[in-house]
Amino acid sequence: MRTVKLDLADAPYDIHIGEGFLASVSAILPLLAQPRVAIVTNTTIAPLYLAQLQVQLEQAGVSVLPIILPDGEKYKTWETLNLIFDALLAARCERKTTLIALGGGVIGDMTGFAAAVYQRGVPFIQIPTTLLAQVDSSVGGKTAINHPLGKNMIGAFYQPKLVLADISTLATLPDREFSAGMAEVIKYGLIDDLDFFEWLEGNIDRLMERDADALAFAIERSCQNKARIVAADEKETGQRALLNLGHTFGHAIEAGMGYGVWLHGEAVAAGMMLAAHAAHIQGAISDGGLARIEKLLRKAALPVVAPALGEDRYLELMAQDKKVDAGRIKFILLERLGQSFIGELSQDVVRQALRAGCAAA
């Protein structure tokens, strides 16, 4: 087992990376304020892993309330969130009841948001079952639901008590979902870790074959990078925004195409290419650097061409991004491979990047 510590002043916690966590609840039990939990999962994950986790907890004397939600980004809504509250209230769950998020990023985000607001805050634990959730969304305490006008626009910063990333769950992950997670892994190399980017270039084939040792290293390195940035800026008042490389473009893709049509990681990958095109236009990265980014994304079976929503539509959607400040869109920009910063782009550069990186209408 590998452990990454997220060292927050008010709510430090461990991120355990390994195999067999669903068959052993030894890390969970000491954190329970009472012997009662609600496991929030979905219709895809429940048949695979719910019973195993539930049995282990019940054998340890813990009462378990399963809450099974529909699967998919399109269900990351108020209506689905209320299904969690309905179940908790009907079962008379108390403030010391711990919520356990068993699933991918959608389940983790909604469970965390529910925990943040149910009875003004109850403890929760993340057990992410997708690569994207293991390296990104389960770590750092961002919780939210979508709104038709913007992704993750309604939510809260609320930290889990523990994250258990069980690599064995990746064996059942569909190839498309696995690739979507690789987008976030590649992101860490681009924003602040050139050594990791170069390691990914040399080991991408092992990762795509789901080699356990390569995956464990990539997940640990990704979590270390995120933990370091989050510890320095928990509420995203500054440098934490670097973790959003490609996301301003990517969120526009998700909203413009309709939530769930493009997976989050797919949209981020295309968004990172658009950001790379902008950096190339500004002279920050060379032809060779642009080609390296595109080659790595292609090897991860990720899209490198964004959909043709139209330049004006992209600008309209990006104007609703959370990083907009005083009406000005903030972008995460590449200074060079492995180094990024928060800045602005002229509308002309944005339009040039869209023309370079979008499919023909």
151 catalytic? Reply is no
184 catalytic? Reply is yes
- DSSP bridge pairs for 315: none
Beta-carbon contacts of residue 44 (< 8 Å; ≥ 6 apart): 71, 103
What does residue 19 show for φ and ψ, rounded to 5 degrees?
Answer: -130, 150
Query: Tokens 């399963």 appear where?
Result: 66
264 catalytic? Reply is yes
Distance CA 20, CA 47 (A): 17
DSSP letter assigned to residue 306: B
Count CA within 13 A, CB hemisphere, residue 78.
4
Instruction: List the catalytic residue out of 177, 220, 236, 254.
Output: 236
Instruction: List the catalytic residue out of 76, 161, 244, 280.
Output: 244
Instruction: List the catalytic residue out of 151, 161, 226, 322.
Output: 226
Largest Cα–Cα distance of the chain, in whole Å?
62
Instruction: List the catalytic residue out of 240, 277, 280, 322.
Output: 240
Count CA within 13 A, CB hemisphere, residue 184.
27
Instruction: List the catalytic residue out of 92, 120, 209, 328.
Output: 120
- DSSP bridge pairs for 182: none
240 catalytic? Reply is yes
Q: What SS3 class is residue 101?
A: strand
Distance CA 259, CA 256 (A): 8
322 catalytic? Reply is no
295 catalytic? Reply is no
Cα–Cα nearest to 117, from 76, 69, 85: 85
Distance CA 29, CA 61 (A): 10
226 catalytic? Reply is yes
Instruction: List the catalytic residue out of 184, 220, 254, 294.
Output: 184
Instruction: List the catalytic residue out of 264, 277, 280, 322.
Output: 264
Give the residue numbers marked as catalytic. Answer: 120, 142, 184, 226, 236, 240, 244, 247, 251, 264
